[in-house]
A and B are shown apart, each in its own frame.
Chain A
């Protein structure tokens, strides 16, 4: 035991001895937490739009006023005709154009469908889809009020939508717990991804192998800093998410901690596996990226796993991040406890055990 402690102490020294390395481990994750949490949003609250109102009547002005009055829209230009519209959209000065035709008011008065043209920049398809639904909402509101005010038939029934767990549909509540997972993951990869191959390149790994240490002890020593630093940073990040960003944490904190711990073991195991497999640090870095990038993109962090093709969905079962995302969002927003998350715990535990075993075997085999 004492000898294991000595080894762990040595690993910490090797990692934290270098000032630049210390800075990289502590500074960027915290800065990135703040910047990314503000940046990563799918909510649109500032849609720049251009108005082309050719209607001399009141109804056209009323329609435009509804867009101007909406907190989600911001008028950037008003044009007399559609001539300059294409330019504004091409340059991304406006995301959306509203074109009220010449006969808009007249058609409304005589009960003919009044034409209203909406043009949207589809370069970012998600933004376009959301802007479109906001615009339809405004038009529907106009419809209902017009029908009520002009004695037409009563407005049709509307859908009354209630969102569970996130009543105001704030992207931030969805994204910030995800960022907790992202940054924890990156930190563990920083610590474990190059740790074995660095010693191998320097030749000190062979020396380590001829000491009385067993291979699993050496690997345990390598895993310890990642585990401790990862757990410490994850705790800080969770606290910031709750206190600074006001994301509710309504589930069990113990269930969250267990999930994070299991995740750390499996991520470190895979990191050490890559590190043991690589012959040079360049290969190690490549391996770390080849794991890190797909693991994040296919985790469900930004794009839902259900939207992926079946085959890719199967691949995600090997991805520890996938389970962590469910655990984070379950405990933060849905109030999940230990029992609800059992289905996430056991795959993580399995991945952790398998990857640590494989890393030990690889570290020993590469000796020959």
Chain B
């Protein structure tokens, strides 16, 4: 490793970066754009869900129950005249579900013997349906308790369950989605920055010119890596800044841990891009491979949105080969819980091993040969 030569290579790569603005756009515009769009756009918190109520015989009981539903921020209540109208509204996607209060509503709810109230939900989006079901049950219990209190009866629920939700008491989905989103975005940035750089040199024939010079392959790779690493860390800093300021995601861990983990992850992501690039030697194929192996796996298998613990065991095993998985876990923990070393150390260890693997294989595969 010759420092003078290395400096020259880094200079050349930096000039190339500045000449085609797309690399700068990748490092800074991409995270800004994606984080703004998704930070606002992606939410699993269903609020103001349109829901129908059908009261066959409106009376004070049904009115107070509808009032409780109206009072909840989760619902947007539509009163419908008949069951048929509710069915039609459901088919048209105008409502997500409806409560059917039959003519014997009062007897069913407050009379002797266990009664039932009919509820229909659109189950296509099973997750939202389940959340709506939970909100409805909540409103239902609130209403029941009120009714019983008015009648002076003892509470019907023998167990007083107190629930505490740690790290995210309001269950804001944004607080867990934004840290994960940063991992997904950094995966894209890392691959996009380097996926084409070696392939481009091969395609244009300048790689052969480089080979004829005294620089070593390791110097070429470090020369490619370093400028993009600086760019990537800049993008990361921008993303974290946005998450904390604009989206008000709490950052309970230390910045130092965050920076260290990001540096490791970026090395992995850039290394993966370099490996794709030096294996493909052709920008078109390198581009195709990087689209296929980066975004969708990081989106679906990293735990960013779908909980890894809910996946079948075999699939959980597969997620271990995915760098984004470890980074998502680190980010969610450092942002929401703090510096929990029992989570951070194993994840960081896995990332370090992957970085060594990708960079090592890239170095081994790129000998000074022309074939």
Report which A residues bind B (CB closer than 8 A).
Answer: 18, 20-21, 24-25, 28, 32, 35-36, 38-46, 48, 63, 87, 89-92, 95, 108, 111, 113-130, 132-133, 135-136, 139-140, 142-144, 146-147, 152-167, 169-171, 173-174, 182, 186, 189-190, 193-194, 198, 201, 280-286, 288-290, 292-294, 296-298, 302-304, 306-309, 311-312, 315, 329, 333-334
Contact = CB atoms under 8 A, between A and B. Distances in A.
A125 B166 CA distance: 10
Interface centre among B99, B167, B291, B295 (most CB of A within 10 A): B291
B122 A164 contact: yes
Contacts of B311: 38-39, 41
Interface of B: 20, 22-23, 25-26, 30, 33-34, 37-38, 40-47, 49, 90-91, 99, 108-110, 112-131, 133-134, 136-137, 140, 144, 148, 153-169, 171-173, 175-176, 188, 192, 195-196, 200, 280, 282-285, 287-293, 295-297, 299-301, 303, 305-307, 309-312, 314-315, 318-319, 329, 332-333, 336-337, 340, 342-343
B167 A306 contact: no
**Closest 5 pairs (CB-CB, A-B):** A163-B123, A166-B123, A122-B168, A113-B160, A157-B115
A349 to B, nearest CB: 21
A162 B117 CA distance: 11
B315 A298 contact: no
Given A159-B116, A281-B287, A282-B23, A113 B155 contact: yes
Nearest to B335: A123
B150 to A, nearest CB: 14
Contacts of A189: 291
Given A123-B167, A164-B121, A155 B156 contact: yes
Contacts of A95: 309
B134 A289 contact: no
B288 A282 contact: no
Contacts of A283: 20, 22
13 contacts: A39-B306, A42-B126, A45-B310, A91-B340, A91-B342, A113-B157, A120-B164, A125-B45, A155-B156, A158-B117, A159-B116, A164-B90, A166-B129
Contacts of B200: 281-282
B59 to A, nearest CB: 16
B164 to A, nearest CB: 5
A170 B123 CA distance: 8
Contact of A174 (B40, B43, B126, B192): B126
Given A164-B90, A186-B296, A21 B126 contact: no
Nearest to B290: A285
B290 to A, nearest CB: 7
A18 B281 CA distance: 12
Nearest to A326: B93
A122 B165 contact: yes
Contact of A36 (B155, B162, B300): B300
Contact of A169 (B129, B305, B309): B129
B340 A282 contact: no
Given A38-B312, A91-B343, A162 B126 contact: no
Given A108-B159, A117-B162, A46 B310 contact: yes
A303 B176 CA distance: 13
A181 B296 CA distance: 12
